[in-house]
Chain A
Amino acid sequence: MKENDNILEEITQSEYKYGWTSNFEMDSAPKGLNEDIIRFISARKEEPEWLLEWRLKAFRHWLKMNEPKWPNVKYPKIDFQDIIYYAAPKQKVKPKSLDEVDPELLETFEKLGISLQEQQRLTGVAVDAVMDSIAVATTFKEKLGELGVIFSSFSEAVQVHPELVKKYLGSVVPMNDNYYAALNSAVFSDGSFCYIPKGVRCPMELSTYFRINAANTGQFERTLIVAEDNAYVSYLEGCTAPMRDENQLHAAVVEIYAADNAEVKYSTVQNWYPGDKSGKGGIYNFVTKRGLCAGHHSKISWTQVETGSAITWKYPSCILKGDHSIGEFYSVAVTNNYQQADTGTKMIHIGKNTKSRIVSKGISAGKSQNSYRGLVKVMKRAENSRNFSQCDSLLMSDTCGAHTFPYIEVSNKSAHVEHEATTSKIGEDQLFYCNQRGIDTETAVALIVNGYAKEVLSKLPMEFAVEAQKLLAITLEGSVG
């Protein structure tokens, strides 16, 4: 392996027109994207040949594809040759204590109620003593190992369980699924791999574990979750803490596979840097998330709280292939200032007696634009399938926009598809009522908004529901008044 790497590096060094220099060789590739860069990434990660081929194939597809223009978002053209596609985690100078960390960041942590220990971890404070969290993580790992649950970084899974990765990678989101999925498939940096064997009910929220272990996974994150027959897992990705990143473009892919009677509950809280109040900066978050209910009576449930990013383009979807399978999508998407979100879901009913439920709560403030885009598709064979969709929009200002684009395609007469939608503006009357009871406007907004989003927030794992509530309040601070 090592020798191969060296050869590859030599080749890439000699061919790449900007030239390799010894100082970047160790930690990052030069700007731009071509096959050599992909070879470099694969080599650096010591990947097997098949995975390199898979990446290259995705890249060749990507070259022939066009950026999607249909989302209801506006942004300047992205120069894909102006991006660095591989950078090893940097050894930043770690702050010695929280005293050296940006006080504004600490204030937000405080408001979110994040523990001191976790604050240290999130800000990368160097801790000498053995941290409790590491001990806890080790205990978790042992416990999971006993049950045969695999939970590791994607890179580690490629090395340790190549047969599983090979079997499921791209099985739900094909490498050429869409422009950003193809880009991710070609250059993905790292991510998570989760495998729950037959009959195992994962005894803990993987969120707990994840929060302790979450490492910097880069801008092209790849997640693969597989639940075998009769398996169950609840997984949480993301963090309520504000995430800053120098990379503007994030294009992640998440794939979930559920076999017979398997259930996967996937929750996410997204709080990437949204840009400043005038709309400068911020992350472009172009994500492909899809679950395949492959087996009968399987269930995949997406819950998302989206408050960050300058632009969000994200449709966690379910393919209900197995008979009696169930897909759910619960979403709260908040946009403020100049943020733009185009988010929703797709429920594809293929199997008989399949059910789906969509609850989307959009909240727009400032000059932001918030769109719900959803597809409910009932295929010919999907006898007695049912869908219920509820899409609500709450407006906090006169300058923001809320849009709903529901698509319904039904090819089977026995299907029941229901769609309800409401748009409301936060009421002066509601605010005054709260004020009159002694509640200040900021708290009143938080109270009203959390009440509005309750049905979705209640689906989150307990400890996150509380943080998510606070997050909504912080995101909307000063948006009314």
Chain B
Amino acid sequence: MALKHATPMLDELEKGPWPSFVTDIKRMAARKPMCEDLLGLLEMSYEHKEGHWKHGGIVGVFGYGGGVIGRYCDRPDLFPNVAHFHTMRVNQPASKFYSTEALRKLCDIWEEHGSGLTNMHGSTGDCILLGTTTDQLEPIFYRLTHELGMDLGGSGSNMRTPEGCVGRARCEWSCLDTQDIIYDITIKYQDELHRPMFPYKFKFKASGCPNDCVAAIARADCSIIGTWRDKIRIDQEAVRAYVGGELVPNGGSHGFEKRKLDIQKEVIDLCPTRCMEWDGKNLKIWDEDCTRCMHCINVMPRALRPGTDVGATILCGAKAPILEGAQLSSVIIPFMKMEPPYEEFHEFVEKMWDWWMENGKNRERLGELIQRLGLREFLKAVEVQPDPRMINTPRFNPYIFYDPADVPGGWERDAKAYRERHHA
């Protein structure tokens, strides 16, 4: 069936070995006028080298302030079927495991009420349903909650949908139960997720180890990263097997040929703290000098494993550039046990949010507020003592903001007494 709009430029994206989103949209377009007009609009954007969507209007489901992004095209005269093309964010199941039964149901609901196009998944982690009209929002929400037991995710100045790595479901390195932590945060703070009450967005992400597969340190206002305080577990026999060429280094990440691992060059010399030594038979690790970077464990996964006294490093403040420039999260709590019911963590979160809501300006992320008021103010608010693990280096400027309470006599001065000692 010929489609309504010619798309000579988009057709070029049907070529090549990588899966083509254009081919995929085209097969939906055969039975969905919305997809047909989306292709036409996109072709026009390719011609103009400019997008054709307007700012979102306020649309949503009753009682929620997030989860739906209003979207309208700026040429409804040409593409009436995408005049309204709203997005719904569906809170993904943890680590994005699905049963096909649930997925098929979701597809059926979405084909009936929307464009049939999705993002699997959005950047934050939600399953994105791409393109529907305002009158369909309530029926979709009803069917999601009733037929699938699923709910919407966050948008706007809400807690955004939390996300974690695959964790203990299929990774031997996870020092945290990331699935349980993410589920706990998501359920405990449903109100914050659905109803905007913050100065701006707030993201939680949990990675099970310092490899940080969900990029928590780069993009979460509160990054929860698994770590351990005791010793790396060593299987000396397996170390010898890597050195002897019986096991493939790095789990095959750098090639599958069996080769003798040059443990000095590939492991010990690349260790950031040089805390290991190989005597030809045994690997010795001075764990007190280890900063748990994961390199040696990554290279010899059958020989080395994280320790067993596990918990999380809590870091805060990461964000993308808008407004004050990109930030990585900074260490706030070097180690927290992170065991259910996570009360210590909840207390921390609530103190953090209280301070941010009290002091944050409109559209000011937590990391920007910490920059503006200083890390000291944040630490006071969350009742955490300063720790050298929070910094790379002590300050090298002498401009210290002292608190009058820390100086004997405070800041009340006696000018007359001063001038008795020092004549003007």
Same assembly: no
Which of B's residues lie within 8 Å of A, judged by CB?
Answer: none
